[in-house]
Amino acid sequence: MNEKQKPERPDAETDGMKTPDRRFHINIHVILLAAIVVIIGFCAFRLYKWNKGVPSDYDPNYQTTDFDIEAMDSIIPLAPDKLEGYEDDGVTTILCLGDDPFSLDQGDGGLAEQIAAKTGATVYNGSFTGTTMAMQNPSYQDWYYLDAFSFAYVAQSLASGDFDTMRQAAAYSYDEAFPRTTEMLASLDMNAVDILCVMYDASDYINMRPCDDPNKPYDPITYTGALRSGVKAIQDAYPHIRIVVMSHTFCHHVNEEGNFENGDRVDLGHGTLSHYLQKELDATMDCGVSFIDNFYGSVNEDNYLDYMTDYIHFNDAGRELLADRFVQCIFPDLSTEQR
């Protein structure tokens, strides 16, 4: 061997040694394991957060007077064509028809009087105590003179101008207001009336008047039939009058033992109070007149002790509440001003 010749460097295969590989290798197993750990951690965090929930603002001791159910008001303006040829005298005149809500405790705290004070309108009170929307008999009978003062009959008398039967029936009453109110209605110029406000309490329910007869929608011995026939009579005779129906409120039924029974839970044969309410709303929509829901929107099962004197009659605060509802629905601008 030449002494200048250097021995060759043995390669890896000849000397059994490997050269180190400095390239970075990605291990797929490590990546999958890391992904699984992240997913499990995320799920565990969401489960922990879900179990923890969110703080509740519910206070079991909180008292509120707000209604859980929205009132079923249906406010319909008078169609412009109904005023064609009618000359407005510039004075807002309201005629109130109904029973005890209007007829009892007349004076500064009376319902009609409060409507007058809150609206500035001229208000006539044509109500009769102890009457009902519907008639008890298909036609007037002397032995039951109150039928002549039901809404169905009063509306017919106003439309026709014939008050002979009402005058005759008023003579049978021990209530001096009956003949006096009858004469007021007979002398009233209906052409000067702008709004007719109708409100009966739950007397039809208490007196077990049939609520509705689908085969006879204008039958005056049913609650809604009397309403339809009375409204139609006024609309035909005086189309310029805007008609507003205010519903009954909550009340109790007094059973044979003298105990109060919830009127919205006891069916006396023709439905509960809410059934009468729904049928009354349907009838007003059929006739195209306004409806103010006092059952859910005014005096209800939760607040009646503040507004009623007994199972069905109102105190001054109750009548003011009803007057406020009328103003809010029919004279919203005045209601805003009062606030």
pLDDT in tens, 84-107: 889 889 999 999 999 999 999 998
Number of domains into which the chain is organized: 1
For residue 30, is it within any domain? Answer: no
Residues 246 and 228: their CA atoms lie apart, in Å, by 14
For residue 71, is it within any domain? Answer: no
For residue 150, is it within any domain? Answer: yes
Residue 305, C-beta contacts closer than 8 angstroms, at least 6 positions apart = none
Residues 185 and 66: their CA atoms lie apart, in Å, by 39
Going by C-alpha positions, the residue among 52, 196, 178 that lies closest to residue 124 is 196
User: What angle, 0 to 180 degrees and rounded to 10, lies between the N-to-C axes of helices 223-237 and 151-160?
Assistant: 10
pLDDT at 209 over 50: yes
Residues 258 and 106: their CA atoms lie apart, in Å, by 28
Task: Give yes or no for a contact between 166 and 154, defined as CB atoms under 8 angstroms apart.
Answer: yes
Q: Which domain covers residue 238, as residue numbers?
A: 89-251+262-338
What are 145-183's pLDDT values in tens digits? Answer: 999 999 999 999 999 999 999 999 999 999 999 999 999
Distance of CA 51 to the CA centre of its chain: 41
Task: Give yes or no for a contact between 276 and 212, defined as CB atoms under 8 angstroms apart.
Answer: no
Residues 176 and 195: their CA atoms lie apart, in Å, by 26
For residue 240, is it within any domain? Answer: yes
**Residue 270 belongs to a domain with what CATH number?**
3.40.50.1110
For residue 33, is it within any domain? Answer: no
CB neighbours of residue 43 within 10 Å: 10
For residue 39, is it within any domain? Answer: no
Give the pLDDT score at 13: 46
Residues 253 and 201: their CA atoms lie apart, in Å, by 12
For residue 154, is it within any domain? Answer: yes
What are 233-274's pLDDT values in tens digits? Answer: 999 999 999 999 999 999 999 999 999 999 999 999 999 999
Give the pLDDT score at 337: 55
Q: Pairing between strand 242-246 and 122-125? A: unpaired
For residue 46, is it within any domain? Answer: no
- 281 three-state secondary structure: helix
What does the pLDDT average to over 290-294?
98
Mean pLDDT, all residues of the chain: 89
Percent of the chain with pLDDT over 90: 74
Residue 17, C-beta contacts closer than 8 angstroms, at least 6 positions apart = none
pLDDT band at 29 (very low <50, low <70, confident <90, very high): confident
